[in-house]
A and B are shown apart, each in its own frame.
Chain A
């Protein structure tokens, strides 16, 4: 009797703990949709394409921030992905070399590294010498945030390939470069693609590394690589600090847009992971 009671209490406490863990997620989803959707409907297409309204005067749009997010994500992928994938290949192929071991450890540290420090670093090496916030500085900061995720996933995907395939490939008299890039990476492509998407999803929603690098822009769409650029998360951060009611509304609308961008990247990831784990 007592034992059954204990089991009940145990189960109940697990259920409560689980609920407390996932409750914030649902609360976020719910409040973003309930407060953001009316803004999106009211603003219409203009909300996605237009520029920011003046204080206390309608909604305008968050076009520059959306374009900025795409520009930053694209540029950071351009910088970060090739390096990250090669790094992953290296640490998978030479796991016992000194550099290989060090790389793996450093990647894991980088993954957990406070992203605001990445922003500070890029500010020091790029923004201060250039004398201005810029798209390229924002992209570099995001690339640094993205790289460890992509590298670790690439390494993992390559390591999961059974050794017999590697033996089979080398037994055909193929050079290491062909074995790795044509055969092993072909076999690991789903895992690598997953890592790339996770990296992209991660940076599409980042704010901290952009604070001291991208600068933000809510009225000019895109002026050039060396000019400040907007980003949706950055815009949200800036809008909620303003005392104007309409800016808070725009921030909710922008939050919904950000969430939709994130989900558009994240849902394919979940689906592809399901395919990888046979």
Chain B
């Protein structure tokens, strides 16, 4: 069964159509990259998966998004977002909260644990998964704003993982990080895709080729090409894809 499937998905911002009928099947427990030039609709597409588009009053969605076969638009938005975690382009841990509280927050208010001990365990588990535990274990009560950019981004990953989601959406997670921090995040993606489905949006073909099993190329709101990453990179079927991959567009 596919983790995520879109059916004739169209998205408008006001009068402007930004996603123009996308049909996409994302298999379970893979890293699926969506690449394309800036403004092609990558981030919008990603936000339609967890219904985060609804925060934007101008956005209108047509078609369907299915999470393991079930339409997310028939589910409660809160439940959808609990099962589909998200990491953003700009690291956005809540700066007024401690490192611990940032990770614990979602777990606590979604009532996923029954005791303080359980919560402690989940926080440690999530921070270990996000390869941040060793760096912060002695300063869990420090404000999250004291971390470096790379650490903040891993904290956001831990925060999302703590809810034990089935799918993790990543919207250009390394775009604002230095190369060392970025490579740590990429290593993390490698490990995490064993356990959950990762959908990563990137404008960098190089990153897509490094981290993903499948790749989709989006251009002007349309899906141009999709397939196994090595196939698309070695033998692009569409001329647009080839131009993008060889750096003649983008």
Contacts and interface: CB of A to CB of B under 8 A. Distances in A.
A167 B92 contact: yes
Interface stretch (B12-20, B27-35, B105-113, B127-135): B105-113
B79 A172 contact: no
Interface string B175-201: 000000000000000000000000000
B250 interface: no
Contacts of B79: 173
Contact of A172 (B81, B96, B97): B81
Interface residues of A, number: 21
A182 B81 contact: no
Contacts, number: 68
A131 B83 CA distance: 62
B57 A171 contact: no
A31 to B, nearest CB: 44
A172 B110 CA distance: 9
B88 A164 contact: yes
Given A96-B57, A186-B97, A170 B90 contact: no
B50 A165 contact: no
Contacts of A162: 92
B200 to A, nearest CB: 15
A173 B94 contact: no
Contacts of A166: 55
A164 B171 CA distance: 12
Interface stretch (B156-164, B203-211, B223-231, B234-242): B156-164
Given A96-B57, A168-B156, A174 B110 contact: yes
Contacts of A96: 57
A220 to B, nearest CB: 46
Contact of B110 (A171, A173, A182): A173
Contacts of B80: 173
A171 B81 contact: yes
A83 B90 CA distance: 35
Contact of B85 (A171, A174, A183): A171
A54 to B, nearest CB: 56
Contact of A169 (B82, B83, B94, B96): B94
B52 A172 contact: no
A162 B92 CA distance: 10
Given A96-B57, A186-B94, A187-B96, A172 B106 contact: yes
Given A167-B55, A173-B82, A182-B109, 6 more contacts: A168-B92, A170-B55, A170-B81, A172-B85, A172-B159, A189-B96
5 contacts: A165-B94, A168-B156, A170-B52, A171-B50, A172-B110
